[in-house]
Structure 1
Amino acid sequence: MKPQTSRWAKGVALIAALAVVASCGLPRPGPNKREIYAGSVQQKGDAFVVSVNDRVTRATAVAPALGFSESFKSAGTLGSDTIRPGDVLSLTIWENVDKPLLGPEGQVAAILEEVQVDGAGYIFVPYAGRIRAAGNTPEAIRRVIKGKLEDQTPDPQVEVRRAAGDGATVSVVGAVGAQGVYPIERPTRTLAAMLAKSGGVTIEPEIAQVTVLRQGSTGKVWFQDLYDNPRLDIALRGGDRILVEADTRAFTALGATGTQSRVTFESQNLSAIEAIAQVGGLNSAAADPKGVFVFRNEPGEIANQVLGRDDLIGAQRMVYVLDLTEPNGMFHARDFVVRDGDTLYVTEAPFTTWDKTISSITGSATSVSSLQTLGTGG
């Protein structure tokens, strides 16, 4: 009777284990392929499930457009000698007399340091009065001062130098070597030159973005494009604010991948194959290479192109399917562009589910058998 009772107990344990598995389900990282396809519009779901091919990769290859508007690009380079309100001037005046107007007796040169141009654009010079400086060059100011002093001292010689004041400055902040406020001078009249003056970028150039704010207008450009396209190296204006920051775009990786997390982009354009590599590739012990999915809210115009329709309005839920086992699967994954906010999901291979089922049944049966053994005292 004992062997028969033992077989009966094992049978009960197996049935109990199957019941547990059937009722509770197996642990897994997300839906399987069958469940994803069941949620498609074709199956009365709410998402379009589309297999990726060459036509789909072309229709969805939308990269973020960065650049400056025509108002930024058409602004001419500032003349480095043009005086502006806030600039600081240094004046030296020589007089060929024993008793000069502007200096002590016996001193032929009078030096007026740090003469700042006021908000109205004027400076004050003793015996010459208020002189319009803003909009003029140092040479033009020199002639004006000389003309006003000639009636009071014979043949005065005047030198006017422009120092770096706050009349034409820009602020540079973010991921640069030295944040601060910098004057626009002859060597730093363009964006690239000013970035170099501030110590250059301190993040990877491939993901660096440069934003310029000017009087209510904003322009943004990739750092690398500044050097690839000379037209993007815009001329600066006083009051410009320059911000350097890393690309903030990211995608989420879930399922049978090397890691499951939110991942930032490492390049301007990121393909599906690069995104997979960036998260450590597919989990070789669990991933199904036929079940690589990209979930996205696609703009209506792109969704219409992908589906060959013209009646969709607004964002559409799209699920793009990549089969890496097909002859062109790797090429499609290489050409398919991942975008900001995408979710990359890799399903588990069928054998993984089977292995979990067997392990769950075996473990449950073993546990029940152990309890039975304890209950019968051996």
Structure 2
Amino acid sequence: MVIASLILSGCALPRSGPNKNEIYAGAVERGGNTNIIYVNDHVARAANYQPSYGFGADFLNAAPVQADDIRPGDTLGLQIWENVDDGLLASLGQSSTQLQTLQVDSQGYIFVPYAGRVKASGNSPDSLRRIITDRLASQTPDPQVLVTRVAGDGATVSVGGKVTGQGVYPLERPTRTLSAMLAKAGGVAIDPEIAVVTVKRGNATGKVWLKDLYANSRNDIALRGGDVILVDEDQRSFTALGALGGQTKVPLGSEEVSAIEGIALVGGLNSSIADPTGVFILRDEPESVARRVMGNPSLYGTQRFAYVLDLTRPNGLFLARDFLIRDGDTVYVTEAPFTQFSKVIAAITGAANSARSIEAVGTN
């Protein structure tokens, strides 16, 4: 009676997860919502879409700012020479007047005595010098004006995350690009191979691998006042479950990882229980990829896929080598059919031995 019960309840014995038939039961053809697809050369090519980091056109097409341009928030120094002994601004016996703390207001203006409210922002110090000179020329003969920028805190960039020196840095001539600003902040404080740089500008956001920033000069975008730069570790990963050497969440890093490499990263197939014909890659495919894989242009929206790799086929290992893992994937390996049978036999043997032990105790 005990033996019959164990045979009938064999499916309830401990195991690492669903078997192949249970996964196939969720196929679209059987009323489920999962597309069960055996991987072949076409599928491997069609599914190998790798989302990449990068900046949009707004970032890439922005020209470097003119570091000499005056901006709201800047502090200017102003010195004026007058060609008369008793000038408009100079003290008695002095030929020049020096004003060191002219703050450019939020609308971009400064106030200069006898010249009035002058638009400073958008002008270089030299062009502002000419404007003030023209304003004063009608009131004092041959004025000479010198304009300097004392501080440039009107245009700053915030740098945070995994960098050596977090802080707010002025946008100056040497630091007008992303790579230069990162260098100003002391560089990244993590492994450059896994570093991702994100730039936030208003409502727009772009990101790039650090290695791609230096590999392609186009990614070295021009910065703007108010930009926020964040450096962090890449968060992409996949999950490995089932009859594998380990069950864990695995970071992808910046490199492309194939299915065979992903399996190797967790210790390979468990040789005692794994079914090499039941290697599944579970993911949600975007509409464009789903249409290519299925050859069906009428598919709409994100589709759920279970890709099947049969490593025992003549080219099974090659297909596993060519099929790329993506962020968020689940790699699941089913147990071999005999494994559950072995568990049933072990349970039966154990139950029989227990029964005999109980009988022996009762007869003593």
Whether TM-score is above 0.5 comes out as: yes
> In the alignment, is the contact (CA less than 8 A) between 1:209 and 1:222 conserved in 2?
yes
1:253 partner SS: strand
After the TM superposition, which residues 1-378 of structure 1 pair with which residues of structure 2 at under 5 Å, given as runs?
16-23=2-9, 25-43=12-30, 45-93=32-80, 111-126=98-113, 128-146=115-133, 158-377=145-364
Percent of matched pairs sharing the same residue: 59
- Cα distance in 2 for partners of 1:276, 1:164 equals 57
Equivalent AA in structure 1 for residue 275 of structure 2? D
Render the CA deviation track for 1:192-229: whole Å, top value 9, x for unaligned: 21122222233333443333222323333333222222
Unaligned runs of 5+ in 2: none
- Cα distance in 2 for partners of 1:274, 1:184 equals 44
- Cα distance in 1 for partners of 2:253, 2:171 equals 33
Task: Name which of structure 1's ranges 180-189 and 229-238 shifts more when overlaid on structure 2.
Answer: 229-238
Shift of 1:154: 7.5
- Cα distance in 1 for partners of 2:239, 2:217 equals 35
Corresponding pairs, count: 363
- Cα distance in 1 for partners of 2:268, 2:280 equals 14
> In the alignment, is the contact (CA less than 8 A) between 2:33 and 2:304 conserved in 1?
yes
2:72 partner SS: coil
Equivalent AA in structure 2 for residue 16 of structure 1? V
Pick closer, same or farther for the CA change 1:230–1:96 going to 2, 3 Å.
Answer: same
Task: Give the TM-score normalised by the residue count of structure 1.
Answer: 0.83
- Cα distance in 2 for partners of 1:330, 1:271 equals 11
Shift of 1:291: 1.8
2:327 partner SS: coil
1:297 partner SS: strand
Pick closer, same or farther for the CA change 1:85–1:299 going to 2, 3 Å.
Answer: closer
> In the alignment, is the contact (CA less than 8 A) between 2:79 and 2:147 conserved in 1?
yes
Shift of 1:187: 0.7
Shift of 1:159: 3.4
Render the CA deviation track for 1:118-174: whole Å, top value 9, x for unaligned: 122222345554333211111122334455566787766543322443321122222
Render the CA deviation track for 1:318-366: whole Å, top value 9, x for unaligned: 2111122334222212221222322110112344334433332222222
Give the alignment's Cα RMSD to 1 decimal.
Answer: 3.0
> In the alignment, is the contact (CA less than 8 A) between 1:164 and 1:183 conserved in 2?
no
> In the alignment, is the contact (CA less than 8 A) between 2:39 and 2:307 conserved in 1?
yes
Equivalent AA in structure 1 for residue 20 of structure 2? K
Shift of 1:257: 1.8
Task: Name which of structure 1's ranges 178-187 and 28-37 shifts more when overlaid on structure 2.
Answer: 28-37
